[in-house]
A = this chain, B = another copy of it.
Amino acid sequence: MGAPTADRVAGRLLGEAPAGSAGDRMNQDGSRRGTDDGVMYRRVAADLRDAIADGAYGSGGKLPAEAALAEHYGVSRGTIRQALALLRSNGLVTSRRGTRRVVLGTAPVQSFSELLSFTNWARSVGEEPGAVLDSMVVRPAGDQERERLRLEPDADVYAVLRVRTLSGRPVMIERTVYPVWVGELVARLPVNEVSYTEQLLEHGIVFADADHTIDLAYADADDARLLGCADGTALLRELRHTTDPTGRPLEWSEDRYLPGTVAFTVHNSIAASAFSRLRHAGPAR
């Protein structure tokens, strides 16, 4: 390939501002928060994301044509399309045959790790994450656990119960089940280590895919005790199933949040959506 230099990604191609928001076309600085992972389409995407965040195209404004972007960045149209697909999947821009792409809004600046890790999420919203280990046991896997973690019939699991805190205030109960090979690593971590995810990452364990189910649950005696709420209080529940890039299950977790501490957001589009409603099937644990 042409191996364009990094500073090829700088400057700003102007699109078309929406009616009623002309005049704010500053920010030619080309500064970029996004990570340079050396992949061109990500750099282009990051640059466009920043431009959109700066309001260079306005909300409801039009992006430059793909051909124009390709020339501007000195890459092929295919690369531009890769970058735009990213923005599209993040709900930043629309696309429709025949017309220019339209800016929908500003990106929620959250990376994949922030989606999985309570710790990273807490930091990203400016709070101090904490964790209190309540219990960690090794026990034979239940039927559901064996199936979900794809384990042998007689396999054990590590079951961990933790209270997660924001700036010292308990907000979530985390019940996580790990297969033995992951659990052994978890067990060796210092007690009250805040982020298992980060530590596991350093052991070469990569969280690659996750399925989440969100519904409502009621606090049991443990929840009430640990969260300091009344027994039977309604909690927002997230069931999470995570695998590594190989498809090997890494964890199966049930998190219960105190109301008012968290909300979940999803974007979907006619092109690609990973969002669906389910008929409620009762407690899945």
Q: Are A280 and B265 CB-contacts (below 8 A) given A234-B234, A273-B115, A274-B90?
A: no
User: How long is the Cα–Cα vector from A95 to B246 in the complex, in angstroms?
Assistant: 7
Contact with B along A81-100 (1 / 0, CB 8 A): 00000100111011110010
Residue A9 interfacial (CB < 8 Å): no
> In the complex, which residues of chain B have a beta carbon less than 8 angstroms from the beta carbon of A208?
94, 96, 269-270
Residue A213 interfacial (CB < 8 Å): yes
User: How long is the Cα–Cα vector from A281 to B216 in the complex, in angstroms?
Assistant: 19
Q: Are B275 and A265 in contact (CB under 8 A)?
A: yes
User: How long is the Cα–Cα vector from A110 to B102 in the complex, in angstroms?
Assistant: 26
> In the complex, which residues of chain B have a beta carbon less than 8 angstroms from the beta carbon of A281?
263
Q: Are A110 and B276 in contact (CB under 8 A)?
A: yes
> In the complex, which residues of chain B have a beta carbon less than 8 angstroms from the beta carbon of A110?
276-277
Residue A198 interfacial (CB < 8 Å): no
List the B residue with the shortest CB-CB distance to A259.
B216
* Chain A contacts with B in 52-94, Cβ cutoff 8 A: 59-60, 86, 89-91, 93-94
- What is the distance, in angstroms, from A265's C-beta to the closest C-beta of chain B? 5
- What is the distance, in angstroms, from A115's C-beta to the closest C-beta of chain B? 6
Query: Which of B60, B96, B210 makes the CB contact (< 8 A) with A267?
Result: B210
Residue A207 interfacial (CB < 8 Å): yes
User: How long is the Cα–Cα vector from A268 to B112 in the complex, in angstroms?
Assistant: 8
> In the complex, which residues of chain B have a beta carbon less than 8 angstroms from the beta carbon of A227?
none
Q: Are A112 and B269 in contact (CB under 8 A)?
A: yes
Residue A114 interfacial (CB < 8 Å): yes
Residue A3 interfacial (CB < 8 Å): no
- What is the distance, in angstroms, from A34's C-beta to the closest C-beta of chain B? 15
Q: Are A212 and B265 CB-contacts (below 8 A) given A108-B276, A115-B273, A115-B275?
A: yes
A interface, CB within 8 angstroms of B: 59-60, 86, 89-91, 93-96, 99, 102-105, 108, 110, 112, 114-115, 121, 125, 127, 150, 206-216, 234-236, 243, 245-247, 259-270, 272-282
